[in-house]
């Protein structure tokens, strides 16, 4: 069946022609999908560094891609490159080292890491106390020169742009936990403007370090139920107590439908619309009335030219924090009305944890696989339902379903919310 090349608003339809993914479950879409619908958890004990004294000692680490001593920015680049290669190979676009469009990269902020600071401190020769002035004094020693580029925010995007041969200035961005969705949205907007026919959107996050764990712990955002690790993340359950920090990456090749069909590319799905709405209530908490979350979903429907009745599945933000899941329910209930209890909604984070800036991209890829396979991955660890959240969370076991249109929600610290409308075969 041929797809239309223009949407109801006369804009180019945006096809997805390639996807790639890495999570704690594995590398590549086949492996990930198999484990995801089997309800397998990727959450495990942290072995990469000592966890003595930490409240949280588990995470969704991507241990199978980690190499000893790897700095987070280096690992982010590695997994971003791997998912990008998978997506571009599937799309069959461009040639080696020449991707014919821009790069939008969602990633965590970069800074010097503790091992770097320890190296610098060791060179100071200071006896009692080590000050920053001491570190600056030794900074120009040639052996520390590589740390300069490692401290650059743009370094990952720069290396990826070199590797893939993307066009123009690579955009590195963050909207906290909504970043992956924002990267996709930026790609969609660029193609809709007619600036390009194809764009590469990647989200990658490898924030599992002692300091990240402490920072999120201090915000009371992380679960401290460390045993057993695979049962910690329990979105929408009454006994949920926080999210599980996780690593992951995903890539999407976005392409105008006209361009994709002209070259005979296989269409994996379409990004029908994107919605945003910021929350100015509080730095880490959502507006109690749910207005921004509601507005975000409604904006996505408007952009996609659909109504809530068209939505067959909701890929939840579903972090497993008491606050998020309650507010997501409030938003879904308001938007979907009496239908809210019947639309299946599930959280991938129950299995892979919260991949932070990558989550929007990772879960968009899983949503596309959900539509493609007509099978909904479960919300695992759902043993104690929360009576305040009467939703069909697809508890514990995957389920076959007829899904043409789905939404994927991402809500970030700092109030940045994104909702994507993804669809499969034309109606």
Contact at 8 Å (CB) between 303 and 273?
A: yes
Contact at 8 Å (CB) between 295 and 350?
A: no
CA–CA dist 331, 312 (Å, integer):
16
Which residue reads 């942290």 in tokens? 46
Neighbours of 237 (CB within 10 A): 21
Q: Does 211 bind other proteins (CB under 8 A)?
A: yes
Window 398 to 427, contacts with other proteins (CB under 8 A): 412-416
Catalytic entry in 159, 259, 317, 382? 317
How many CA atoms within 13 Å lie on the side-chain side of 213? 24
Window 2 to 21, contacts with other proteins (CB under 8 A): 10-11
Which of 32, 73, 182, 379 binds other proteins (CB under 8 A)? It is 182
Q: Does 153 bind other proteins (CB under 8 A)?
A: yes
Q: Does 214 bind other proteins (CB under 8 A)?
A: yes
Which of 99, 216, 236, 411 binds other proteins (CB under 8 A)? It is 216
Q: Does 224 bind other proteins (CB under 8 A)?
A: no
Q: What minimum distance in Å lies between the beta carbon of 416 and other proteins?
A: 5
* 163 carries an active-site annotation: no
Start-end of H helices in 316-381: 322-336, 349-352, 359-373
Q: Does 70 bind other proteins (CB under 8 A)?
A: no
Window 278 to 307, contacts with other proteins (CB under 8 A): 278-284, 292
Window 337 to 366, contacts with other proteins (CB under 8 A): none
* 317 carries an active-site annotation: yes
Cβ contacts of 129 within 8 Å, gap of 6 or more: none
Q: What minimum distance in Å lies between the beta carbon of 34 and other proteins?
A: 34
Neighbours of 146 (CB within 10 A): 10
Q: Does 112 bind other proteins (CB under 8 A)?
A: yes
Task: Give the DSSP per-residue string, 90-106.
Answer: HHT-SBTTB-SS-EEEE
Q: Does 383 bind other proteins (CB under 8 A)?
A: no
Token couple for 24: 């704690």
Q: Does 151 bind other proteins (CB under 8 A)?
A: yes
Which of 4, 125, 131, 383 binds other proteins (CB under 8 A)? It is 131
**Residues belonging to the active site:** 177, 317, 354
């Amino acid at each position: 069946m041929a797809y239309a090349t223009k949407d109801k608003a006369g804009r180019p339809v945006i096809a997805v022609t390639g996807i790639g993914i890495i999570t704690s479950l594995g590398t590549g879409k086949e492996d990930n999908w198999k484990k995801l619908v089997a309800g397998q958890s990727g959450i495990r004990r942290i072995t990469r560094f000592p966890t003595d004294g930490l409240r949280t000692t588990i995470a969704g680490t991507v241990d199978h891609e980690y190499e000893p001593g790897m700095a987070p920015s280096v690992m982010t680049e590695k997994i971003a490159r791997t998912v990008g290669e998978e997506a571009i190979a599937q799309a069959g676009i461009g040639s080696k080292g020449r991707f014919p469009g821009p790069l939008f990269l969602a990633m965590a902020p970069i800074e010097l890491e503790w091992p770097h600071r320890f190296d610098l401190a060791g060179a100071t020769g200071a006896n009692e106390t080590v000050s920053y002035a001491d570190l600056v004094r030794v900074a120009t020693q040639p052996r520390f020169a590589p740390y300069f580029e490692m401290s650059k925010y743009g370094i990952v995007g720069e290396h990826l742009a070199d590797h893939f041969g993307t066009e123009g200035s690579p955009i590195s961005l963050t909207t906290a936990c909504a970043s992956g969705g924002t990267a996709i949205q930026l790609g969609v907007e660029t193609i809709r403007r007619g600036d390009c026919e194809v764009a590469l959107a990647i989200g990658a996050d490898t924030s599992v370090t002692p300091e990240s764990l402490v920072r999120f712990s201090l915000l009371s955002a992380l679960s401290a139920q460390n045993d057993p690790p695979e049962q910690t993340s329990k979105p929408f359950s009454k006994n949920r107590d926080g999210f599980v920090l996780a690593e992951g990456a995903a890539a999407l090749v976005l392409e105008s439908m006209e361009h994709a069909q002209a070259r005979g590319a296989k269409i994996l799905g379409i990004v029908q619309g994107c919605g945003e709405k910021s929350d100015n209530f509080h730095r880490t908490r959502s507006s109690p009335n749910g207005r921004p979350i509601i507005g975000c979903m409604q904006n996505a429907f408007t952009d996609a030219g659909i109504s809530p009745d068209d939505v067959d599945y909701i890929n939840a933000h579903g972090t497993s924090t008491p606050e998020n899941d309650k507010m997501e329910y409030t938003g879904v209930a308001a938007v979907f009305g009496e239908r809210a209890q019947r639309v299946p909604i599930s959280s991938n984070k129950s299995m892979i944890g919260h991949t932070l800036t990558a989550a929007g991209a990772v879960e968009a890829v899983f949503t596309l696989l959900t539509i493609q396979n007509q099978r909904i991955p479960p919300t695992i660890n759902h043993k104690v339902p929360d009576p305040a959240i009467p939703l069909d969370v697809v508890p514990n076991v995957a389920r076959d379903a007829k899904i043409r249109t789905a939404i994927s929600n991402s809500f970030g610290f700092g109030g940045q919310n994104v909702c994507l409308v993804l669809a499969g075969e034309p109606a």
